[in-house]
Amino acid sequence: MPNSPATDIADPPGHLPYRKDKGKLLQILGVGFGIAVAVGNSISVGIVRTPGDIAARLPNAWLFIAVWFGGALYALVSAFQLAELGTLIPSSGGQYNFSRRALGDYAGFVVGWSDWISTCGTTGAVGIVFGEYSAHLFPILSSAMRIKFTGVAVIVLFALLQWKSVSMGSKVQSFTTLLKGLVFFVMVVACFTMGRAAHAQASAVPSIAFPTGAALITGLLLGMQATIYTYDGWDGVIYFGDEIKNPGYLIPRAIFASLASLFVIYLMINAAVLYVLPMNQIAGNDFSLGLAAQQVFGRYGDTVFRSIMVIALFSSVNALHLMGTRVLYAMSRDGLFFGQVTRVNKGGTPTAALFLSALVGVVFAIGKFERVIAMLAFFFVTNYMLSFISLFLLRSREPQADRPYRAWGYPWTTALALLGSVAFLVEAIREDRANSVLTLVALAVSYPVYRVLKAVSSRKPSASI
């Protein structure tokens, strides 16, 4: 069993001492936290919508399951690379650190800025979904204003819970993720034990013809793209490199354990949906989990499903706050944002970064930023691509650097992960040319913003209090 972040244990060989000084990040987190933040962040509204999208393109049970294996395989190949980078550069802030060290400040700025904004945007989106599900459970909250207020309230609540200390944020994350896992497990068990009648009906429905030739290849590519987005978050531990005890030992274990957990959970959820629903009811349905719950629980199904999602979204909001805060803190620490944002309280919380991250999340929750989020999807794929390029460059430039973990299969698995990222980026651009053009414009505009922020932040030395 992973050790709880709050539990004192004997230090493994090579363990660095805890940093307990006021004003610094505290090295008190363990592999259990790494798994909790990854699973808590990843399992969200994506698993609700993705099965319907995939089934619409691949209306065959074997192909449907195959793309989940394909997405997991791509994530595993990527995990080999990020595990090495995460142990080579064990700094809080995520992939920003890798691109900055290998490609320079501007590349780091683009990765960090897009990662932070997309994380805050996701926080706002999850808050709104929380408000919408809550409104179905409690009709008094059903007005548009109250839905937004509920979304904002949950964003602010979890920011306040983290404000005291990173230990409190870790405990909240572990508890909410465990609760999320339990409710989904109950849902899966219920489908297989109480859904036999629904299974018999689903088995009697004729199969749907699935595409062949070029259409099949396109369906597989887009289906895998959807699963890759849904798996995204398995690398959550790399956002906390400064705060993980013995990062060279624990970061790879947290990454691979997180990915394995997500794979098993997603496989069980999709198997349960396929058991109680025919493919023609899953295809194109962005509410297939809810429909499965209705088949199992009857008229209480909608209430059960929405209750599960409300509970599940708690850990997502908490994880997004934790991760976004570390990205902004890291950029400020390196002089790419205002130095005052490096402020850390004695509990190890970067309070200024947390305040700004929560504030931007609230702005997203009360506004309409669908196009911005769509544009940032391109940055999401690009960030992975730049990380794989960074691994090649750092292996070449720093061959003697201490690497507690080395990517399995390098350079072949690294090249495979890079080519996969390029292929999916090309497909994303082909499918959404309008937003791809806007993304290129945003990239061009980011350079003068980078120059201004770097100039302003370099006027005074960063100070932690």
Q: What is the pLDDT of residues 399-431, one digit of tens each?
A: 999 999 999 999 999 999 999 888 877 876 776
Asked which of 252-261, 278-287, 360-369 is least confident by mean pLDDT, the reply is 360-369
In degrees and rounded to multiples of 5, residue 240 shows phi and psi of: -130, 35
Q: Where are the domains of the chain?
A: 31-398+406-457
CATH topology of domain 31-398+406-457: Amino acid/polyamine transporter I (1.20.1740)
pLDDT of res. 14: 36
Whole-number Å distance between alpha carbons of 174 and 258: 13
What token pair was written down for 15? Answer: 């363990």
Q: What is the pLDDT of residues 38-70, one digit of tens each?
A: 999 999 878 888 899 899 999 999 999 999 999
* Residue 424 CB coordination number (10 Å): 20
Residue 464 clears pLDDT 70, i.e. is over it: no
Spacing of C-alpha 2 from chain mean position: 21
Q: Whole-model pTM?
A: 0.88
What token pair was written down for 303? Answer: 């209430």
Sign of the alpha-carbon torsion through 162, 132, 312, 31: negative
Whole-number Å distance between alpha carbons of 325 and 120: 9
Helices (H), 138-246: 144-163, 166-194, 196-204, 213-231
| Percent residues over pLDDT 90 in the chain | 61
Instruction: Select from 345, 209, 337, 195 the least CA-distant residue to 273.
Output: 195
